[in-house]
Amino acid sequence: MNKKLIRPRLAAACLLAACAPAIAQSSDGELKLSRRLAPSTLAKELGVKPGPALPEAAETTTPLELADAVRQAVARHPSISDAIAVLAQQSGGVDVARAGYYPAVRVGVGAGVNDRGAAGQGRSNGGLATASVSQMLYDFGKVSGAVGQSEAQVQRQQATILKQIDAVAQQAAEAVVMTHRYQSLVAIAQEQVQAVEKVLQTAQLRATAGLSTKADPIQAESRVDSARANLLQVKSQLAQWRERLGTLLGRSVPPRMAPLPEHLASELRVDMQPDTSLMPEVLAAEAERRVATAQLEVARAQRYPTLSLDASVNRPMGGMNSGVPERSGGSHSVMLNLSSVLYQGGALEAQVNAAVAAEQAARMRIETARLNAGDQVRNFREQVIGAQARLGVLADRRRSIAEARDLYREQYTLGTRSILDLLNAEQEIHQAAADEEAVLHELWTSRVGYIGATGQSRAYYGLNNTTVQGIEVLP
């Protein structure tokens, strides 16, 4: 049989054999899907291992300050480490883009048969070593646009790190405020238990002396049980927030929380309009716009040609070079190369249109970030103002109830006031104290939220001009 007919048939048979599984799968009509999920098997296949231990702060019994807790939290939180690692990745992308300014050197070795030799030279065969160098001379901004896009991605990631630092700082500050809140509420609940126990003792003495009925001690004992149950509930909430704070700090929380810093409250001005241009959300959105602008520049530059200087050298390792009569001769060339894509199915125009739309979307994200930031700032500002106004009213209420409680206690001792009035007064005064503490810490929570919304966390918590996980944080 003719060899020219055998080769095409053999190739067709091989192609049919390779496509047979795909054809069989298509004829089945159903996608085969694994119906088993085993996380232990999946973890084994992926090679998942326990992660390294996070850095832990030293144990201490010194009362924990708000700023110290924030600094300890940002020094170890893995989300910040993740953002910093991505920054290193983006920085590498800048180096990759800048490499387009430098020459590209390629070497290679090939082997084959060439029967298109010069007249009278016959067929050349053997290996061919090649080396080439290409230097871009002018590309209408393709490389510079890629560099600008990579640099904008670095800036975007820097803003992301700032956002993550602010987020962790706010979480830690809120945990400190809530822990301090329930620490104060535990003290109030303990005072309530002691006060109601004193009423119970007085009621028992009066009932023993026949000055009151036995119902008085029973009512007082019921209130004691209620106060003790409230104390246990508040202690449970305190333990939960201590665990939350301990998770952020990486260690057990000291037995006592330091008083919340009054200097921070006095320095915070909620009546001033914040600078939205320094907010991490706005910075990240602005960086997104720069990425889109650089992407647009690259897309537009693709319409134009690229001028380069190319040089190449070929040398056969055996046999004869088809372009050189002498055995084992080499060839070389140096030329200016002007290359351009004339038609690509409309891809270039589509890339430009997509880049224009991306830039417009990025501009709208900037306005959205400013709008959301302004809304949060106004919301927290009103919460701060409202809490400050309520504190004054609650303080007056607490003083008036304390006076009534003292009067009721004296009147009950004299037998002119029922024990129920005294128990209600005791409950009211401690409820007023708990309400005052709750509003005070709501005020602090609003302050923390205002600081975070205005991008001032690093300034107020002493993070500026410090190093956070290897990154220097500046104002």
Q: How many helices (H) and strands (E) does the chain have?
A: 11, 6
Mean pLDDT throughout 305-327? 73
Q: How many CB atoms lie within 10 A of CB 362?
A: 19
pLDDT digits (tens, 9 = 90+) for 349-373: 888 898 889 889 989 988 998 899 8
The predicted pLDDT at position 329 comes to 60
Beta strands in 278-385 (DSSP E): 306-316, 331-339
pLDDT digits (tens, 9 = 90+) for 243-295: 999 999 988 788 899 999 988 888 888 888 888 888 888 888 888 888 888 88
pLDDT over 70 percentage in the chain: 84
Domains and CATH numbers, the chain: 69-109+126-473 (1.20.1600.10)
pLDDT level of residue 432 (50, 70, 90 thresholds): very high
Give the Cα separation of 49 and 63 in Å (integer): 37
Do 245 and 253 meet the contact criterion of CB atoms below 8 Å apart?
yes
In angstroms, what is the C-alpha Rg of the chain? 39
**pLDDT over threshold 80, residue 16:** no
In this structure, of 263-272, 313-322, 391-400, 403-412, the range with the lowest mean pLDDT score is: 313-322
Question: Greater confidence, 375 or 54?
Answer: 375
Cβ 54 vs Cβ 78: under 8 Å: yes
Residues in Cβ contact with 311 at an 8 Å cutoff, skipping those fewer than 6 apart: 132, 133, 134, 332, 333, 334, 335
Residue 460: what pLDDT? 92
**pLDDT for res 35:** 67
Structure confidence at residue 205 (pLDDT): 87
**Mean per-residue pLDDT of the chain:** 84
- Tell the burial category of 111 from Cβ atoms under 10 Å away from its Cβ (0-12, 13-18, 19+): exposed
